[in-house]
Amino acid sequence: MRPLLERQKYLIDYTLAALLRRKTRNLGLLLVYTLLVFLFASVLLLGQGLRREAALLLQDAPEVIVQKLSAGRHDLLPAAWLDILQRIRGVGSARGRLWGYYYDPAVKANYTLMVAPERNLETGEIIVGAALARIRQIGVGDYLGLRTAEGQPLPLKIVGVLDSVSELLSADLLLLSEAGFRQLFQLPPEVYTDAVLTVRNPREARTVASKIALALPASRPILRAEILRTYDAVFHWREGMVFVALGSLLLAFLILAWDKAAGLSAEEKREIGILKAIGWETGDILGMKLWEGTLLSLTAFLAGYLLAWWQVFHGGARLFAPVLKGWAVLYPDFRLTPTVDLQQILVLLAVTVLPYIVATLIPGWRAAISDPDAAMRE
Amino acid sequence: MLFRSSTHFHKADVALTLLAMLLLLFGLALADAAWHFHSADGAASRALARELGLTDLSLFTEARYTRHPTQADRHGPFQDHPAALDHFPTGTLLPPPSDLALHSH
């Protein structure tokens, strides 16, 4: 066993010496290789982390939401609809929700305003999300001035800031009382933004949705299952789009790696010829080439993956913030729960490590089986 | 091919140690994920989602149909006027809600 290990150590020694003889070229390749793995792994880990976070946090989203559509657009829902919904067989409870958007020209940000009945807020009181508080540099006790639909200033006192732990859900939220909401948007008392329903038997949610669509043809029921499916699709789609963009980078790398690994230089061929002439066997040369491919590609893979891991799960995925943010001003400061998918790791390994090892081995083998004399003369 | 058996310093030891350390860190990352998979429940965020009936992540706050993609109607991205183009950057990366996609029914 020991001689075998010693033999492998000598082979690695020789491989490292050979790699270091072309230091700049190989270090450059290692850096590009690591960067490539880092980018692909970052996209995979971010997509997977966000999918898991959405699935975890939104499993408590409303079972069924009912909107009213008018001319294909979301319209205000009449309070009378709540009674109709309540009477549909299978519906547990139905309550109206009030929420909407407010564009704040002071910071050019969109807020999501929502009535929070369980918080027992007074008319002039609000609770704000952590990102909103950060961007406006306000806190508990401060006043936030909004303009009503009629253009009148409406000062609102901040009585709380939502916990930053839930920033991924509440970054831009502004919670207020029903009276405050109706005063701000000048809404009559008999309308709501939409309705949320509970269903007695969750397995019948789809049947209940069909009954709602029959009873109220202008309605659009949205199921929790559809919400979860949408988020799953959103991040798969984004991953796919980024992969298309990264595809050109992958192709460039493949050309570089193939050129480096497959096209042995005359110097390398002569080197293999000399090694054969002084007694190395084909197996030794293949072993040396295998170590060369493995050391380089595995180091790049592990370093790239670990950097991506740190960046996504401990660095707040800041690298991708500009892509996710778009033109938005408010962006949540979130920490994703580390998550792993063995299948993804295997695919990443197969796409990045295996081709390089194969591209190193095959030309090495071809040079190793040729006549040493011919190889040295080339 | 003959090798001398000796105990002198190998460059291979340094390279293999480095590789072993990277593998160890990789293993720790996987273990960290496995541990979080069972322990993380996002209780505070889930309670907020339950209380307020939240339906979407506040990741893309630039437009209403990207802030609440699950609640958006078909016309959300083209709201400005007939034949308007969807001009928000997020819109180019965001597919329509799955329940509005043609294949869903």
Domain ranges of chain B: 9-40, 43-104
Q: What is the pLDDT of residues A254-269, one digit of tens each?
A: 777 777 666 667 777 7
Q: Give B83-101 pLDDT, tens digit per residue.
A: 666 666 666 666 666 665 5
Residue for token pair 């291979």: B12
- Name the minimum distance, in Å, from the CA of B84 to any CA of chain A: 15
Touching A: B residues 14-53, CB under 8 Å: 15-16, 18-19, 22-23, 25-26, 29-30, 32-34, 36-37, 40-42, 44-53
pLDDT digits (tens, 9 = 90+) for A144-154: 999 999 999 99
Residues of B in contact with A295 (CB under 8 A): 15, 19
Tens of pLDDT, residue by residue over B17-65, are 999 999 999 999 999 888 887 776 678 888 999 999 999 998 888 888 8
Bridging pattern class, strands A109-115 and A99-104: antiparallel
**DSSP character at residue A337:** P
Give me the DSSP letters along A35-64: HHHHHHHHHHHHHHHHHHHHHHHGGGS-SE
Beta strands in chain A, from DSSP E residues, in sequence order = 64-70, 73-75, 77-78, 91-97, 99-104, 109-115, 125-128, 143-147, 153-161, 173-176, 191-192, 194-199, 219-223
Q: Which domains does chain A have, with CATH numbers?
A: 2-58+230-377 (no CATH), 62-222 (2.40.40.20)
CA distance A32 to A247: 14
Predicted pLDDT of residue B105: 43
User: C-alpha distances in angstroms, B77 versus A113, A194, B12?
Assistant: 20, 20, 59
69-98 in chain B: CB under 8 A from chain A: 69-75, 79, 88-90, 93-95, 97-98
Do the beta carbons of residue A239 and residue A43 sit within 8 Å?
yes
Q: Is pTM beyond 0.80 here?
A: yes
Are A9 and B13 spatial neighbours (Cβ–Cβ below 8 Å)?
yes
Among A71-75, A154-158, A182-186, which stretch is predicted with the lowest mean pLDDT? Answer: A71-75
Task: Give the span between the Cα atoms of B15 and A311, in whole angstroms.
Answer: 25
**Percentage of chain A lying above the pLDDT 90 cut:** 45
**Pair of tokens at residue A69:** 């559509």
CB A163 within 8 A of CB B43: no
Rounded to an integer, the average pLDDT of A280-284 is: 85
Preferred mutation among B6, B35, B52 to probe A, highest tally of A CBs within 10 A? B52
Give ∠ CA A208-A214-A216 in degrees, rounded to 5: 100
> In a 10 Å sphere around its CB, with 0-12 CB exposed, 13-18 middle and 19+ buried, how is residue B32 labelled?
middle
- Listing DSSP states for A187-209 in one string gives --TTEESEEEEEESSGGGHHHHH
Computed on alpha carbons and rounded to an integer, the radius of gyration of chain A in Å comes to: 31
ipTM: 0.77
Task: Please give the pLDDT value at position A230.
Answer: 84
- Chain centroid offset of residue A222 CA: 24
